[in-house]
Amino acid sequence: MLKGMIINMDNNEQKSSMNTEEEINISIEVLEAKHEDMLLKIFKESRQDLTWISGITEEQKESIIAQQFMMEQQQLMEMYPEAQLNIITMHGKPIGRLYIYYGKTVDRILEIGLLEEYRGRGIGRKIVTTVIENAVEKKKTVSLQVAWFNQGAYAFYEKLGFKVVENKGIAYEMKCIP
């Protein structure tokens, strides 16, 4: 389990242009009610498909996005009531979310997302790699779903060793089997 885990990254692991020797501390913390606004922001930034909505006012669009977020949260809790809902922090500042279900034979990444400004630094890769390593220690696989239009995420997971095990039309079911 990753709850409470601190993942240290030195700048050699980052793809950013930072030139210091500063250590980057990424923590996985239990989600709290105070994080709700941040979760909505992360959801909006990770769901670029929702920006395609047109023909309505900005207020209506924001309302639809908020409804989509609430439906996602509700659906995840109904499907995975034992899921661990986490916030990803960097030096104590919330920067992302990680929802994960720990099953008997499979650990399932339900949601992972970072604020836009923290993407491309190797943070997501480090977190997913840690999830995979923890699963391997327990002789488990890791699964997830990727929307068909999210080619960036698809390529990201493929590089980390995930393979498509089922095409569900709107999403690819992927599994990393070490």
Which carries the bigger pLDDT value, residue 21 or residue 146? 146
Q: Please, which pLDDT band fits residue 1 given cuts at 50, 70 and 90?
A: low
pLDDT score of 75 = 94
Q: Please, which pLDDT band fits residue 18 given cuts at 50, 70 and 90?
A: very low
| 6-12+23-176: CATH architecture | 3-Layer(aba) Sandwich (3.40)
Q: Where are the domains of the chain?
A: 6-12+23-176
Average pLDDT over residues 138-151: 94
- Cβ–Cβ contacts within 10 Å for residue 118, how many? 19
List, for residues 99-128, the tens digit of each pLDDT value: 999 999 999 999 999 999 999 999 999 999
List, for residues 32-52, the tens digit of each pLDDT value: 988 888 999 998 887 777 667
b/e sequence 74-107, b meaning 16+ C-beta within 10 Å: eebeeebeebbbbbbbbeeebbbbbbbbbeeeeb
The pTM of this model reads 0.82
